[in-house]
Structure 1
Protein backbone atom coordinates (compact mmCIF):
# COMPACT_ATOMS: atom_id res chain seq x y z
CA UNK A 1 0.00 0.00 0.00
CA UNK A 2 2.85 2.35 0.86
CA UNK A 3 4.50 1.55 -2.47
CA UNK A 4 1.29 2.37 -4.31
CA UNK A 5 0.98 5.71 -2.49
CA UNK A 6 4.60 6.55 -3.32
CA UNK A 7 4.00 5.77 -6.99
CA UNK A 8 0.99 8.12 -7.05
CA UNK A 9 3.06 10.85 -5.41
CA UNK A 10 5.84 10.48 -8.00
CA UNK A 11 3.36 10.56 -10.86
CA UNK A 12 1.71 13.68 -9.43
CA UNK A 13 5.09 15.36 -9.06
CA UNK A 14 6.06 14.54 -12.63
CA UNK A 15 2.72 15.80 -13.92
CA UNK A 16 3.12 19.06 -12.00
CA UNK A 17 6.64 19.52 -13.39
CA UNK A 18 5.43 19.07 -16.98
CA UNK A 19 2.55 21.52 -16.46
CA UNK A 20 4.77 24.12 -14.82
CA UNK A 21 7.24 23.82 -17.66
CA UNK A 22 4.86 24.88 -20.43
CA UNK A 23 3.41 27.48 -18.08
CA UNK A 24 6.77 29.25 -18.24
CA UNK A 25 6.07 30.35 -21.81
CA UNK A 26 3.68 32.94 -23.17
CA UNK A 27 4.84 32.77 -26.79
CA UNK A 28 5.16 29.97 -29.33
CA UNK A 29 6.82 30.26 -32.74
CA UNK A 30 5.57 28.22 -35.69
CA UNK A 31 7.67 27.79 -38.87
CA UNK A 32 6.23 28.76 -42.24
CA UNK A 33 7.14 25.28 -43.50
CA UNK A 34 7.67 22.02 -41.63
CA UNK A 35 10.71 19.94 -42.53
CA UNK A 36 8.72 17.19 -44.25
CA UNK A 37 6.72 19.67 -46.36
CA UNK A 38 7.62 20.66 -49.92
CA UNK A 39 6.21 24.17 -49.70
CA UNK A 40 5.20 26.79 -47.16
CA UNK A 41 1.99 26.02 -45.27
CA UNK A 42 1.44 22.85 -47.32
CA UNK A 43 -2.10 21.51 -46.77
CA UNK A 44 -2.65 24.47 -44.40
CA UNK A 45 -0.77 22.62 -41.65
CA UNK A 46 1.22 25.60 -40.38
CA UNK A 47 -1.81 27.87 -40.01
CA UNK A 48 -3.69 24.95 -38.41
CA UNK A 49 -0.90 24.43 -35.87
CA UNK A 50 -0.89 28.16 -35.10
CA UNK A 51 -4.66 28.16 -34.61
CA UNK A 52 -4.65 25.11 -32.31
CA UNK A 53 -1.88 26.60 -30.17
CA UNK A 54 -3.82 29.86 -29.89
CA UNK A 55 -6.89 27.89 -28.80
CA UNK A 56 -4.73 26.50 -25.98
CA UNK A 57 -3.99 30.05 -24.82
CA UNK A 58 -0.51 30.70 -26.25
CA UNK A 59 0.37 33.88 -28.15
CA UNK A 60 1.61 32.49 -31.46
CA UNK A 61 3.68 33.97 -34.30
CA UNK A 62 5.20 32.57 -37.44
CA UNK A 63 8.97 32.43 -36.90
CA UNK A 64 9.79 34.92 -39.68
CA UNK A 65 7.10 37.49 -38.80
CA UNK A 66 7.37 40.66 -36.74
CA UNK A 67 7.19 39.88 -33.01
CA UNK A 68 6.90 42.01 -29.82
CA UNK A 69 10.05 43.68 -28.47
CA UNK A 70 10.20 41.42 -25.41
CA UNK A 71 10.38 38.41 -27.73
CA UNK A 72 12.52 39.98 -30.46
CA UNK A 73 15.15 40.79 -27.83
CA UNK A 74 15.10 37.31 -26.34
CA UNK A 75 13.86 34.35 -28.37
CA UNK A 76 14.27 32.18 -25.26
CA UNK A 77 10.89 33.54 -24.14
CA UNK A 78 9.22 31.43 -26.84
CA UNK A 79 8.78 27.75 -27.51
CA UNK A 80 9.55 26.50 -31.02
CA UNK A 81 7.13 24.20 -32.81
CA UNK A 82 8.16 21.14 -34.75
CA UNK A 83 5.93 18.60 -36.45
CA UNK A 84 7.65 15.32 -37.23
CA UNK A 85 6.33 12.83 -39.75
CA UNK A 86 6.82 9.09 -39.40
CA UNK A 87 6.36 7.36 -42.72
CA UNK A 88 3.85 4.56 -42.81
CA UNK A 89 1.98 2.53 -45.42
CA UNK A 90 -1.50 3.94 -46.06
CA UNK A 91 -1.38 5.99 -42.84
CA UNK A 92 -0.26 9.53 -41.99
CA UNK A 93 1.66 9.79 -38.69
CA UNK A 94 2.46 13.21 -37.20
CA UNK A 95 3.94 14.17 -33.82
CA UNK A 96 3.96 17.70 -32.37
CA UNK A 97 7.04 18.80 -30.41
CA UNK A 98 7.57 22.05 -28.49
CA UNK A 99 11.21 22.92 -27.74
CA UNK A 100 12.92 25.71 -25.84
CA UNK A 101 15.61 27.94 -27.35
CA UNK A 102 18.32 25.40 -26.45
CA UNK A 103 16.57 22.52 -28.19
CA UNK A 104 15.23 20.84 -25.04
CA UNK A 105 11.89 19.10 -25.55
CA UNK A 106 9.26 20.73 -23.32
CA UNK A 107 6.25 18.93 -24.77
CA UNK A 108 5.85 15.96 -27.10
CA UNK A 109 2.46 14.78 -28.30
CA UNK A 110 1.27 11.32 -29.06
CA UNK A 111 1.53 10.13 -32.67
CA UNK A 112 -1.49 11.53 -34.48
CA UNK A 113 -2.82 9.19 -37.18
CA UNK A 114 -5.15 9.29 -40.16
CA UNK A 115 -5.91 6.74 -42.89
CA UNK A 116 -7.74 9.12 -45.22
CA UNK A 117 -6.65 8.71 -48.83
CA UNK A 118 -6.78 12.41 -49.72
CA UNK A 119 -3.50 13.99 -48.62
CA UNK A 120 -4.79 17.35 -47.38
CA UNK A 121 -7.54 15.72 -45.31
CA UNK A 122 -5.24 13.03 -43.94
CA UNK A 123 -2.52 15.46 -42.83
CA UNK A 124 -5.04 17.80 -41.20
CA UNK A 125 -6.75 14.99 -39.30
CA UNK A 126 -3.42 13.52 -38.16
CA UNK A 127 -2.24 16.92 -36.88
CA UNK A 128 -5.50 17.51 -35.02
CA UNK A 129 -5.22 14.04 -33.50
CA UNK A 130 -1.67 14.77 -32.31
CA UNK A 131 -2.76 18.07 -30.76
CA UNK A 132 -5.35 16.30 -28.57
CA UNK A 133 -2.42 15.38 -26.28
CA UNK A 134 -2.11 19.06 -25.40
CA UNK A 135 -5.67 19.00 -24.04
CA UNK A 136 -4.45 16.79 -21.19
CA UNK A 137 -1.98 19.45 -19.97
CA UNK A 138 -3.54 22.51 -18.27
CA UNK A 139 -1.91 25.76 -19.36
CA UNK A 140 -1.78 29.25 -17.84
CA UNK A 141 1.24 31.51 -18.34
CA UNK A 142 2.86 32.22 -14.96
CA UNK A 143 4.84 35.33 -15.95
CA UNK A 144 8.26 33.67 -16.10
CA UNK A 145 11.02 35.51 -18.01
CA UNK A 146 13.42 33.02 -19.54
CA UNK A 147 17.01 34.21 -19.58
CA UNK A 148 19.36 33.83 -22.52
CA UNK A 149 22.08 31.20 -22.11
CA UNK A 150 25.16 32.90 -20.62
CA UNK A 151 28.71 32.22 -21.77
CA UNK A 152 30.90 31.63 -18.74
CA UNK A 153 34.50 32.89 -18.93
CA UNK A 154 36.95 30.89 -16.77
CA UNK A 155 38.45 33.13 -14.06
CA UNK A 156 41.97 31.91 -14.78
CA UNK A 157 41.73 33.23 -18.32
CA UNK A 158 41.01 36.78 -17.17
CA UNK A 159 42.80 37.35 -13.86
CA UNK A 160 46.28 36.03 -14.61
CA UNK A 161 48.87 35.08 -11.99
CA UNK A 162 50.93 37.39 -9.78
CA UNK A 163 54.53 36.20 -9.34
CA UNK A 164 56.92 37.15 -6.55
CA UNK A 165 58.29 40.26 -8.33
CA UNK A 166 54.82 41.72 -8.51
CA UNK A 167 54.55 41.17 -12.27
CA UNK A 168 51.23 39.91 -13.49
CA UNK A 169 51.67 37.06 -15.92
CA UNK A 170 48.55 36.27 -17.96
CA UNK A 171 47.30 32.77 -17.30
CA UNK A 172 47.33 30.53 -20.36
CA UNK A 173 44.01 30.16 -22.10
CA UNK A 174 42.49 26.71 -21.81
CA UNK A 175 42.84 24.66 -24.97
CA UNK A 176 39.68 22.95 -26.17
CA UNK A 177 40.14 19.30 -27.02
CA UNK A 178 38.40 18.40 -30.30
CA UNK A 179 35.79 15.65 -30.08
CA UNK A 180 36.52 12.61 -32.23
CA UNK A 181 33.53 12.07 -34.51
CA UNK A 182 32.26 8.91 -36.19
CA UNK A 183 32.55 9.71 -39.91
CA UNK A 184 29.95 8.47 -42.39
CA UNK A 185 30.42 8.61 -46.16
CA UNK A 186 28.08 10.58 -48.42
CA UNK A 187 24.97 8.69 -49.51
CA UNK A 188 24.61 10.58 -52.80
CA UNK A 189 24.55 14.00 -54.41
CA UNK A 190 22.24 16.60 -52.88
CA UNK A 191 21.02 19.67 -54.73
CA UNK A 192 20.69 23.01 -52.93
CA UNK A 193 17.56 25.09 -53.41
CA UNK A 194 17.68 28.61 -52.01
CA UNK A 195 15.13 29.59 -49.32
CA UNK A 196 14.51 32.86 -47.51
CA UNK A 197 17.03 32.05 -44.76
CA UNK A 198 19.31 29.47 -46.35
CA UNK A 199 18.86 26.33 -48.43
CA UNK A 200 17.00 23.07 -48.59
CA UNK A 201 18.96 20.06 -49.85
CA UNK A 202 17.02 17.62 -52.00
CA UNK A 203 17.90 14.24 -53.46
CA UNK A 204 16.92 12.81 -56.86
CA UNK A 205 13.50 11.56 -55.60
CA UNK A 206 13.08 14.60 -55.16
CA UNK A 207 12.82 14.67 -51.35
CA UNK A 208 14.03 17.26 -48.86
CA UNK A 209 16.92 15.68 -46.97
CA UNK A 210 18.27 18.64 -45.00
CA UNK A 211 17.23 22.19 -44.19
CA UNK A 212 20.06 24.71 -43.81
CA UNK A 213 19.83 28.08 -42.06
CA UNK A 214 22.50 30.72 -42.65
CA UNK A 215 24.68 32.00 -39.81
CA UNK A 216 27.08 34.95 -39.51
CA UNK A 217 29.99 32.66 -40.45
CA UNK A 218 30.59 31.63 -44.10
CA UNK A 219 30.33 27.91 -44.93
CA UNK A 220 28.56 27.29 -41.60
CA UNK A 221 24.85 26.47 -41.36
CA UNK A 222 22.38 25.39 -38.69
CA UNK A 223 20.98 22.11 -40.02
CA UNK A 224 17.93 19.93 -39.44
CA UNK A 225 16.71 16.71 -41.06
CA UNK A 226 13.56 16.24 -38.91
CA UNK A 227 15.25 13.60 -36.73
CA UNK A 228 18.64 15.19 -36.00
CA UNK A 229 19.63 18.78 -35.32
CA UNK A 230 23.20 19.98 -35.86
CA UNK A 231 25.45 21.99 -38.15
CA UNK A 232 26.68 21.76 -41.72
CA UNK A 233 30.19 23.09 -42.26
CA UNK A 234 33.09 22.84 -44.69
CA UNK A 235 36.23 21.01 -43.56
CA UNK A 236 39.17 20.33 -45.85
CA UNK A 237 37.11 21.28 -48.89
CA UNK A 238 34.33 18.81 -47.98
CA UNK A 239 30.89 19.44 -46.52
CA UNK A 240 29.94 17.65 -43.29
CA UNK A 241 26.67 17.36 -41.35
CA UNK A 242 27.58 17.02 -37.67
CA UNK A 243 25.14 16.13 -34.89
CA UNK A 244 24.94 14.08 -31.71
CA UNK A 245 23.17 10.73 -31.52
CA UNK A 246 22.99 8.80 -28.24
CA UNK A 247 25.71 11.05 -26.84
CA UNK A 248 28.08 10.40 -29.74
CA UNK A 249 29.21 12.93 -32.36
CA UNK A 250 28.37 11.86 -35.92
CA UNK A 251 29.92 13.55 -38.97
CA UNK A 252 28.20 12.71 -42.26
CA UNK A 253 29.98 13.73 -45.45
CA UNK A 254 27.77 15.54 -47.95
CA UNK A 255 28.06 16.01 -51.71
CA UNK A 256 26.27 19.30 -52.35
CA UNK A 257 25.68 21.05 -55.64
CA UNK A 258 24.77 24.72 -55.14
Structure 2
Protein backbone atom coordinates (compact mmCIF):
# COMPACT_ATOMS: atom_id res chain seq x y z
CA UNK A 1 0.00 0.00 0.00
CA UNK A 2 2.80 2.41 0.96
CA UNK A 3 4.68 1.54 -2.25
CA UNK A 4 1.60 2.27 -4.35
CA UNK A 5 1.03 5.60 -2.58
CA UNK A 6 4.68 6.58 -3.06
CA UNK A 7 4.42 5.75 -6.78
CA UNK A 8 1.34 7.97 -7.17
CA UNK A 9 3.04 10.88 -5.40
CA UNK A 10 6.19 10.47 -7.49
CA UNK A 11 4.14 10.37 -10.70
CA UNK A 12 2.28 13.56 -9.74
CA UNK A 13 5.56 15.29 -8.89
CA UNK A 14 7.12 14.34 -12.23
CA UNK A 15 4.02 15.45 -14.16
CA UNK A 16 3.95 18.78 -12.30
CA UNK A 17 7.65 19.36 -12.94
CA UNK A 18 7.32 18.59 -16.65
CA UNK A 19 4.31 20.91 -16.96
CA UNK A 20 6.08 23.73 -15.11
CA UNK A 21 9.16 23.30 -17.26
CA UNK A 22 7.24 23.40 -20.55
CA UNK A 23 5.29 26.43 -19.32
CA UNK A 24 8.32 28.41 -18.09
CA UNK A 25 10.31 27.59 -21.22
CA UNK A 26 7.79 29.70 -23.17
CA UNK A 27 9.03 32.90 -21.47
CA UNK A 28 12.15 34.65 -22.71
CA UNK A 29 13.02 36.92 -19.77
CA UNK A 30 12.79 37.15 -15.98
CA UNK A 31 12.50 40.57 -14.35
CA UNK A 32 13.98 40.91 -10.85
CA UNK A 33 12.63 43.76 -8.68
CA UNK A 34 15.03 46.17 -7.00
CA UNK A 35 13.57 45.37 -3.57
CA UNK A 36 11.69 42.40 -2.10
CA UNK A 37 8.90 43.03 0.42
CA UNK A 38 10.70 41.37 3.34
CA UNK A 39 13.70 43.70 2.95
CA UNK A 40 13.91 47.31 4.11
CA UNK A 41 16.20 48.62 1.35
CA UNK A 42 16.87 48.08 -2.33
CA UNK A 43 19.15 45.07 -2.82
CA UNK A 44 19.67 44.69 0.93
CA UNK A 45 22.23 41.96 1.72
CA UNK A 46 22.76 41.78 -2.08
CA UNK A 47 19.73 39.46 -2.29
CA UNK A 48 18.27 41.05 -5.45
CA UNK A 49 21.62 40.95 -7.24
CA UNK A 50 22.08 37.32 -6.14
CA UNK A 51 18.61 36.46 -7.49
CA UNK A 52 19.51 37.96 -10.88
CA UNK A 53 22.82 36.08 -10.85
CA UNK A 54 21.20 32.72 -10.05
CA UNK A 55 18.56 33.08 -12.77
CA UNK A 56 21.30 33.83 -15.32
CA UNK A 57 23.35 30.93 -13.96
CA UNK A 58 20.53 28.49 -14.65
CA UNK A 59 19.90 29.61 -18.23
CA UNK A 60 17.42 32.45 -17.85
CA UNK A 61 17.93 35.97 -19.22
CA UNK A 62 17.37 38.01 -16.07
CA UNK A 63 16.93 41.79 -16.04
CA UNK A 64 16.77 44.17 -13.10
CA UNK A 65 13.58 46.18 -12.87
CA UNK A 66 13.93 49.57 -14.57
CA UNK A 67 16.98 48.65 -16.64
CA UNK A 68 17.13 49.09 -20.42
CA UNK A 69 14.83 46.37 -21.72
CA UNK A 70 15.39 44.69 -25.12
CA UNK A 71 13.19 45.95 -27.96
CA UNK A 72 11.00 42.83 -28.12
CA UNK A 73 10.34 43.03 -24.37
CA UNK A 74 9.49 46.75 -24.59
CA UNK A 75 6.88 45.92 -27.22
CA UNK A 76 5.54 42.82 -25.45
CA UNK A 77 5.90 42.69 -21.66
CA UNK A 78 4.30 39.24 -21.65
CA UNK A 79 7.61 37.79 -22.86
CA UNK A 80 8.86 38.14 -19.28
CA UNK A 81 8.08 36.53 -15.94
CA UNK A 82 8.14 38.69 -12.80
CA UNK A 83 10.16 37.14 -9.98
CA UNK A 84 9.58 37.52 -6.25
CA UNK A 85 11.23 36.07 -3.15
CA UNK A 86 8.95 35.28 -0.19
CA UNK A 87 10.19 34.90 3.38
CA UNK A 88 8.59 32.39 5.76
CA UNK A 89 11.18 32.23 8.52
CA UNK A 90 10.71 30.73 11.97
CA UNK A 91 12.56 30.96 15.28
CA UNK A 92 15.41 28.68 14.26
CA UNK A 93 15.37 28.72 10.47
CA UNK A 94 15.48 31.28 7.70
CA UNK A 95 13.13 30.15 4.93
CA UNK A 96 12.81 31.63 1.44
CA UNK A 97 10.96 30.58 -1.70
CA UNK A 98 10.95 31.98 -5.24
CA UNK A 99 7.77 32.78 -7.16
CA UNK A 100 7.34 33.56 -10.86
CA UNK A 101 4.26 35.38 -12.18
CA UNK A 102 3.25 36.28 -15.73
CA UNK A 103 2.29 39.72 -17.09
CA UNK A 104 -1.27 39.20 -15.81
CA UNK A 105 0.01 38.58 -12.25
CA UNK A 106 -0.88 34.90 -12.54
CA UNK A 107 1.36 32.55 -10.55
CA UNK A 108 3.31 30.33 -12.96
CA UNK A 109 5.87 28.64 -10.70
CA UNK A 110 6.78 28.35 -7.01
CA UNK A 111 10.12 26.90 -5.93
CA UNK A 112 10.68 24.58 -3.03
CA UNK A 113 11.35 26.26 0.31
CA UNK A 114 15.03 27.01 0.83
CA UNK A 115 16.28 26.89 4.41
CA UNK A 116 19.26 27.97 6.51
CA UNK A 117 20.06 27.78 10.22
CA UNK A 118 22.68 30.54 10.11
CA UNK A 119 22.05 33.39 12.57
CA UNK A 120 23.59 36.23 10.56
CA UNK A 121 20.99 37.63 8.17
CA UNK A 122 23.25 38.16 5.15
CA UNK A 123 24.59 34.60 5.32
CA UNK A 124 21.21 33.03 6.15
CA UNK A 125 19.39 34.77 3.29
CA UNK A 126 22.18 33.89 0.86
CA UNK A 127 22.17 30.18 1.73
CA UNK A 128 18.35 29.90 1.89
CA UNK A 129 17.99 31.55 -1.53
CA UNK A 130 20.57 29.24 -3.10
CA UNK A 131 18.74 26.28 -1.57
CA UNK A 132 15.41 27.46 -3.07
CA UNK A 133 17.03 27.79 -6.50
CA UNK A 134 17.82 24.06 -6.54
CA UNK A 135 14.27 23.38 -7.75
CA UNK A 136 14.70 26.06 -10.44
CA UNK A 137 17.98 24.47 -11.51
CA UNK A 138 16.10 21.15 -11.85
CA UNK A 139 13.84 22.69 -14.49
CA UNK A 140 16.74 22.75 -16.99
CA UNK A 141 15.23 25.91 -18.49
CA UNK A 142 15.69 26.59 -22.20
CA UNK A 143 13.71 29.25 -24.03
CA UNK A 144 11.21 27.79 -26.50
CA UNK A 145 8.81 30.33 -28.09
CA UNK A 146 5.21 29.16 -27.99
CA UNK A 147 2.29 30.60 -29.97
CA UNK A 148 -0.13 29.42 -27.31
CA UNK A 149 1.39 30.57 -24.02
CA UNK A 150 2.19 34.25 -24.55
CA UNK A 151 -0.03 35.29 -27.43
CA UNK A 152 2.50 35.16 -30.26
CA UNK A 153 -0.18 33.78 -32.55
CA UNK A 154 -2.15 37.00 -32.17
CA UNK A 155 0.64 39.20 -33.57
CA UNK A 156 -0.79 39.32 -37.13
CA UNK A 157 -4.09 40.46 -35.63
CA UNK A 158 -2.29 43.09 -33.55
CA UNK A 159 -0.54 44.35 -36.68
CA UNK A 160 -3.86 44.49 -38.52
CA UNK A 161 -5.47 46.36 -35.65
CA UNK A 162 -2.56 48.84 -35.59
CA UNK A 163 -2.91 49.40 -39.33
CA UNK A 164 -6.64 49.99 -38.91
CA UNK A 165 -5.86 52.40 -36.08
CA UNK A 166 -3.62 54.46 -38.39
CA UNK A 167 -6.29 54.48 -41.09
CA UNK A 168 -8.84 55.61 -38.51
CA UNK A 169 -6.42 58.33 -37.38
CA UNK A 170 -6.09 59.56 -40.96
CA UNK A 171 -9.88 59.70 -41.25
CA UNK A 172 -10.09 61.68 -38.01
CA UNK A 173 -7.45 64.11 -39.33
CA UNK A 174 -9.53 64.57 -42.49
CA UNK A 175 -12.69 65.20 -40.43
CA UNK A 176 -10.88 67.73 -38.25
CA UNK A 177 -9.58 69.46 -41.39
CA UNK A 178 -13.09 69.69 -42.83
CA UNK A 179 -14.48 71.04 -39.54
CA UNK A 180 -11.70 73.62 -39.44
CA UNK A 181 -12.48 74.69 -42.99
CA UNK A 182 -16.18 75.04 -42.08
CA UNK A 183 -15.32 77.23 -39.07
CA UNK A 184 -13.05 79.43 -41.19
CA UNK A 185 -15.80 79.78 -43.80
CA UNK A 186 -18.29 80.98 -41.17
CA UNK A 187 -15.81 83.51 -39.80
CA UNK A 188 -14.94 84.76 -43.28
CA UNK A 189 -18.62 85.30 -44.10
CA UNK A 190 -19.02 87.40 -40.96
CA UNK A 191 -16.07 89.67 -41.80
CA UNK A 192 -16.37 92.70 -44.10
CA UNK A 193 -14.51 92.23 -47.31
CA UNK A 194 -11.19 94.05 -47.28
CA UNK A 195 -8.22 93.80 -49.59
CA UNK A 196 -5.93 91.05 -48.43
CA UNK A 197 -2.26 90.59 -49.12
CA UNK A 198 -1.12 86.97 -48.88
CA UNK A 199 2.60 86.28 -48.54
CA UNK A 200 3.68 82.68 -49.04
CA UNK A 201 7.07 81.17 -48.41
CA UNK A 202 8.04 79.10 -51.43
CA UNK A 203 9.31 75.68 -50.40
CA UNK A 204 10.65 73.28 -53.07
CA UNK A 205 8.49 70.14 -53.00
CA UNK A 206 8.04 67.05 -55.09
CA UNK A 207 4.28 67.12 -55.85
CA UNK A 208 2.43 63.87 -56.57
CA UNK A 209 -0.82 64.88 -58.32
CA UNK A 210 -2.65 61.52 -58.07
CA UNK A 211 -2.93 61.39 -54.29
CA UNK A 212 -2.30 65.09 -53.53
CA UNK A 213 0.78 64.25 -51.41
CA UNK A 214 3.51 66.87 -50.98
CA UNK A 215 6.91 65.46 -49.98
CA UNK A 216 9.22 68.04 -48.42
CA UNK A 217 12.83 66.95 -48.93
CA UNK A 218 16.26 68.15 -47.89
CA UNK A 219 15.68 68.29 -44.14
CA UNK A 220 19.14 68.29 -42.55
CA UNK A 221 18.54 69.45 -38.98
CA UNK A 222 19.13 66.54 -36.63
CA UNK A 223 16.52 65.69 -34.00
CA UNK A 224 17.65 63.65 -31.04
CA UNK A 225 15.24 61.14 -29.47
CA UNK A 226 15.03 61.16 -25.67
CA UNK A 227 12.96 58.47 -23.98
CA UNK A 228 9.85 59.52 -22.03
CA UNK A 229 6.86 57.59 -20.74
CA UNK A 230 5.25 55.69 -23.64
CA UNK A 231 7.47 57.28 -26.26
CA UNK A 232 10.13 59.89 -26.98
CA UNK A 233 10.67 63.62 -27.17
CA UNK A 234 12.58 64.88 -30.21
CA UNK A 235 14.91 67.79 -29.49
CA UNK A 236 17.16 69.87 -31.73
CA UNK A 237 20.69 71.03 -30.91
CA UNK A 238 19.41 74.08 -28.88
CA UNK A 239 18.12 71.84 -27.20
CA UNK A 240 14.45 72.56 -27.91
CA UNK A 241 11.62 70.02 -27.87
CA UNK A 242 10.27 69.91 -31.43
CA UNK A 243 7.93 66.92 -31.13
CA UNK A 244 6.62 64.61 -28.43
CA UNK A 245 5.75 61.24 -29.92
CA UNK A 246 3.84 58.32 -28.41
CA UNK A 247 4.19 54.59 -29.12
CA UNK A 248 1.57 52.80 -31.21
CA UNK A 249 0.95 49.07 -31.67
CA UNK A 250 2.77 49.17 -35.02
CA UNK A 251 6.55 49.03 -35.16
CA UNK A 252 8.30 52.31 -36.05
CA UNK A 253 4.99 54.25 -36.08
CA UNK A 254 4.41 57.03 -33.52
CA UNK A 255 1.54 59.43 -32.81
CA UNK A 256 2.53 63.11 -32.50
CA UNK A 257 1.33 64.57 -29.20
CA UNK A 258 -0.87 67.64 -29.59
CA UNK A 259 -0.91 67.47 -33.39
CA UNK A 260 -2.98 65.67 -36.02
CA UNK A 261 0.08 63.92 -37.38
CA UNK A 262 2.05 60.67 -37.30
CA UNK A 263 5.77 59.89 -37.57
CA UNK A 264 6.87 56.62 -39.11
CA UNK A 265 9.87 54.98 -40.74
CA UNK A 266 9.82 54.79 -44.55
CA UNK A 267 12.74 52.76 -45.86
CA UNK A 268 15.83 54.18 -44.12
CA UNK A 269 14.19 57.57 -43.48
CA UNK A 270 11.77 58.96 -40.90
CA UNK A 271 8.72 60.88 -42.13
CA UNK A 272 6.17 63.11 -40.39
CA UNK A 273 2.81 63.00 -42.16
CA UNK A 274 -0.02 65.55 -41.80
CA UNK A 275 -2.58 67.49 -43.82
CA UNK A 276 -1.91 71.04 -45.01
CA UNK A 277 -5.14 72.27 -46.53
CA UNK A 278 -6.22 69.61 -49.03
CA UNK A 279 -2.71 68.26 -49.40
CA UNK A 280 -1.27 65.32 -47.44
CA UNK A 281 2.30 66.37 -46.58
CA UNK A 282 5.13 63.91 -45.96
CA UNK A 283 8.14 65.70 -44.49
CA UNK A 284 11.48 63.89 -44.11
CA UNK A 285 13.06 64.05 -40.62
CA UNK A 286 16.62 63.32 -39.52
CA UNK A 287 16.07 61.52 -36.22
CA UNK A 288 18.83 59.99 -34.11
CA UNK A 289 17.59 57.39 -31.63
TM-score, normalised with respect to structure 2: 0.47
Distance 1:92 1:15, change over 3 A: closer
Matched residue, 2:58:
56
Secondary structure of 1:124 counterpart: helix
Aligned to 1:75: 77
Structure 1: distance between partners of 2:139 and 2:63: 21
Q: 2-side partners of 1:49 and 1:21: how far apart? A: 20
CA displacement, residues 56-82 of structure 1 (integer Å, 9 cap, x when unaligned): 111111111110111011111100000
Superposed displacement of residue 133, structure 1: 1.1
**Equivalent of 2:45 in 40, 43, 53:** 43
Alpha carbon RMSD of aligned pairs, Å? 2.5
Offset, 1:10: 6.0
The structure with more helix, counted as a fraction of residues: 2
Map 1:80-229 onto structure 2 (within 5 A). Answer: 80-144=82-146, 146-147=150-151
Rounded to whole Å, the distance in 2 between the matches of 1:11 and 1:90 is 29
Q: Which protein shows a greater Rg?
A: 2
| Structure 2 unaligned spans of 5+ | 155-289
Structure 1 segments unaligned to the other structure (5+ residues):
151-258
Stretches (4+) displaced over 3 A: 6-15
- 1:20 and 1:121 mapped to 2: Cα distance? 33
Q: Comparing both structures, which one devotes a greater share of its residues to strand? A: 1
Q: 1:120 and 1:23, CA in 2 relative to 1: closer, same or farther beyond 3 A? A: same
Counterparts of 2:40 and 2:11, CA distance in 1: 46
Task: Identify the residue that residue 259 of structure 2 maps to in structure 1.
Answer: none
Cα 1:14–1:119 change in 2 (3 A) is closer
Within 1, Cα distance between the matches of 2:78 and 2:40? 28
Q: Displacement, 1:89? A: 0.8
Q: TM-score when scaled to structure 1?
A: 0.52
What's the CA shift string for 1:141-184, capped at 9, x where partnerless? 11236239x9xxxxxxxxxxxxxxxxxxxxxxxxxxxxxxxxxx
Label 1:10 to 1:34 Cα distance change in 2 as closer, same or farther (>3 A): closer
Aligned to 1:26: 28
